[in-house]
Structure 1
């Protein structure tokens, strides 16, 4: 009986892990190896390996800060933002990562009382 229970548990574990199979980031690249970062969805970000998601989030951070002509990084805040974006993406798989970044950054600014002059 114990063997049957363990075998069943192992089988269920296999089904659960295969339902959440991760893929390499390069899966989303075109024939030339490029990823269109403006069209990448939260589902795709959440569906890749953690190290690929972290690499991509670092790239987005640099790109986003470059647009704002910012030349510094606050490592703890960047890690917090990465985590918040990934959490948001898991809850909102159809949203593009670019939109998720904007929404999460806006919330983080609001929570900190930071006002952006326009």
Structure 2
């Protein structure tokens, strides 16, 4: 088996279901989940979780619209950031990615 084959096999074995991070009652503490946990879950669970965070943040901002292309792009950026920063919390990764996006696009936050 080539080195690439070994690496892929090792990554597949490390993936776990998102529910494995839940407490005994089945709840996830979304403010404590780490980038390593996001990066080590299955892609569909990572997509589901980042979509949930998007809804949470939009709810806090009282926004009721979503730009699909931007949302998918930012979701991808959060996952990429998490893969390179496994020790950070997901909410910290979202903060970094969103701040970078706003800076790159000249978007100022309303106070």
What count of residue pairs does the alignment treat as equivalent? 109
| Corresponding position of 2:32 | 39
Structure 1 gap segments, 5+ residues each: 1-7
TM-score, reference length from structure 2: 0.92
- Residue of structure 1 aligned with 2:7, choices 12, 16, 19: 16
Q: CA RMSD in A?
A: 1.4
Q: Kindly report which structure 2 residues correspond to 1:7-86, keeping only aligned pairs within 5 A, or say none.
A: 8-9=1-2, 13=5, 15-20=6-11, 21-86=14-79
> What secondary structure does 1:37 align onto?
coil
Consecutive aligned runs of 4 or more in structure 1 exceeding 4 Å deviation:
none
> What secondary structure does 1:101 align onto?
helix
How far 1:71 moved relative to its partner? 0.5
Matched, 1:92 2:95: no
Aligned equivalents of 2:56 and 2:38: distance in 1? 17
Larger Rg: 1
Aligned equivalents of 1:93 and 1:116: distance in 2? 28
